[in-house]
Amino acid sequence: MEQTDRQLNKDDYRLIRAMRRQSPQAQLDPAFSAALKQQLREQYRETQNHVSEARVTMALYALLATFVVAIPLLLTILIWLGNPQVKQNVNVTPAVDDDTNEVSTTDVKTLRAEFGSLINARDFEEMKEYMADEVSISVSGTECCGTLLRYDAAGELAFQLDGRGSFDFTETRADLQLIAAQNPDLTKHRFGITEEGFVIGFALDDKFAVNSIVFAQYSSLVSPDLEMVLDSVLDQINALDGTALTQTVAAEVGYEQFGQDCCGLLIQEEAISLLLDDARNGRPYTYDDGEQLSESISRYPVLEQFVLLLGSDGTIIGLQLNSDNRISEIITLNVRDVTAVTPDECSADSQLSQSGAAAYAAGSPSQLGPVWESRYDATSSDAAAGDYYFTIIGREVAAISPADGGIAWTIKGIPFTETAKLASDDTYIYVSTDRDLFAFFADTRKLAWGRTLNWNGRFAPVSPVISCGSVILPVATPDRSSYTLEAFDRESGDRTWSQTLQGVVAVQPVTAGNGRILVADEPGNLYAFSALDGSIAWRTAARLQEPATLTVTGSEVLMTQNGTLTVLEAESGRKRFGISSPATDFVDVAVQGDRIYLLADNGASTIISLADGEDLRRTSHQGLERYIQIGGRFVLITDSSVHLADENLDSIRQIPLKAGVSTASPLYINGVLIFSAGDNYYGVTVR
Share of the chain above pLDDT 90, in %: 20
Q: Is 331 a member of any domain?
A: yes
Strand partners, 138: 145, 214
Q: Are 132 and 150 within 8 A, CB to CB?
A: yes
Domain for residue 64, yes or no?
yes
Cα–Cα distance for residue pair 301/542, rounded to 1 Å:
12
Asked whether residue 177 is assigned to any structural domain, the reply reads yes
Q: How confident is the model at residue 379 (pLDDT cuts 50, 70, 90)?
A: low
pLDDT at position 343? 41
Number of independent structural domains in the chain: 3
Shared-domain flag, residues 316 and 289: yes
Distant-in-sequence contacts of 372-375, Cβ < 8 A, 24+ apart: 372/404, 372/405, 372/682, 372/683, 373/405, 373/658, 373/680, 373/681, 373/682, 373/683, 374/400, 374/405, 374/406, 374/680, 374/681, 375/679, 375/680, 375/681
Number of C-beta neighbours around residue 219 at 10 A: 20
Contact 529, 339 (CB under 8 A): no
Q: How confident is the model at residue 637 (pLDDT cuts 50, 70, 90)?
A: confident
What CATH number corresponds to the domain at position 192?
A: 3.10.450.50
Question: Is the pTM here over 0.85, yes or no?
Answer: no
CB 245 within 8 A of CB 236: yes
How many C-beta neighbours within 10 Å does residue 435 have?
17
Q: Based on the domain organization, do 237 and 258 belong to the same domain? A: yes
Same domain, 106 and 63: no
Q: Across the chain, which distance is largest between two alpha carbons, in Å?
A: 134
Residues 214 and 232 in one domain: no
Mean pLDDT of the chain: 78
**If you average pLDDT over residues 551-573, what whole number do you get?**
87
Please report the pLDDT score of residue 327 as a whole number: 92
Q: What per-residue confidence (pLDDT) applies to 57?
A: 65
Indicate whether 139 and 158 sit together in one domain: yes
Q: What is the pLDDT of residues 107-133, one digit of tens each?
A: 778 888 999 999 999 999 999 999 999
Evaluate whether residue 309 is within a structural domain: yes
- Is residue 167 helix, strand or coil? coil
What pLDDT score was predicted for residue 245? Answer: 94
Judge if 231 and 209 occupy the same domain.
Answer: no
If you average pLDDT over each of 155-164, 477-486, 666-675, which comes out highest? 155-164
Q: What is the spatial order of strands in the sheet that 368-375 belongs to?
A: 368-375, 680-686, 672-677, 667-669
Q: How far is CA 201 from the centre of its chain?
A: 32
Torsion (CA) 286, 288, 291, 292 in degrees, nearest 10: 50
Range of 254's domain?
226-339
Distance (Å, whole) CA 605 – CA 618: 6
Phi, then psi, of 110 in degrees rounded to 5:
-65, -45
Amino acid residing at 43? Q
Query: What is the phi/psi pair of residue 199, to 5°?
Result: -115, 140
- How many Cα atoms sit within 13 Å of 211 on the Cβ side? 10
Is 211 found in the same domain as 306? no
91 confidence band (pLDDT: 50, 70, 90): very low
Closest CA to 685 of 407, 384, 403, 399: 403
What pLDDT, in 10s, does the model give residues 586-616? 888 888 888 999 988 888 999 999 888 898 9
Q: According to the model, what pLDDT value does residue 680 have?
A: 80
The region of weakest confidence among 81-90, 179-188, 242-251, 629-638 is 81-90
Write the burial class of residue 254 (CB in 10 Å: 0-12 exposed, 13-18 middle, 19+ buried): middle
Same domain, 127 and 185: yes
Distance, in Å, from the CA atom of 449 to the CA atom of 535, rounded to the nearest integer, reads 26
Distances (CA, A) of 273 to 46, 198, 268, 601: 68, 19, 9, 51
pLDDT at 5 (0 to 100): 42
Q: Strand, coil or helix: what is 448?
A: strand
**Of the residues 221, 246, 268, the one at which a domain ends:** 221
CA distance 155 to 165: 18
686 belongs to a structural domain: no
Which among 397, 534, 392, 540 is positioned nearest to 467, based on CA atoms? 534
293 and 331 share one domain: yes
Exposure string over 374-387, b if 16+ CB within 10 A, otherwise e: bebebbebbbbbee
Does residue 131 lie within any of the structural domains? yes
> Residue 450 falls within a domain, yes or no?
no
Domain boundary among 172, 191, 221: 221
Tens-place pLDDT, residues 141-164: 777 888 999 988 998 899 899 888
Q: Say if residue 182 is in the same domain as residue 132.
A: yes
| pLDDT given at position 200 | 95
Q: SS3 string of 294-333?
A: HHHHHHCHHHHHCEEEEECCCEEEEEEECCCCCEEEEEEE
Give Cα separations from 548 to 123, 490, 521, 636, 643 (angstroms). Answer: 60, 29, 12, 20, 25
Q: Are residues 251 and 217 located together in one domain of the fold?
A: no
Q: What pLDDT digit, counting tens, does each position of 250-281 carry?
A: 999 999 887 676 788 999 999 999 999 999 98
Both ends of the chain: CA-CA distance in Å?
107
According to the model, what pLDDT value does residue 96 have? 38
| Predicted confidence band of residue 524 (pLDDT cuts 50, 70, 90) | confident
Residue 509: how many other CB atoms lie within 10 Å: 24
Tell whether 317 and 302 lie within a shared domain.
Answer: yes
Establish if 199 belongs to a structural domain: yes
Beta bridge partners of 428: 441
282 band by pLDDT with thresholds 50, 70 and 90:
confident
Question: Which DSSP helix (H) or strand (E) runs through 230?
Answer: helix 226-238
Question: How far, CA to CA in Å, does 615 sit from each of 600, 605, 635?
Answer: 15, 11, 22
Q: Identify the domain boundary among 221, 251, 269.
A: 221
pLDDT, average across residues 306-323? 87
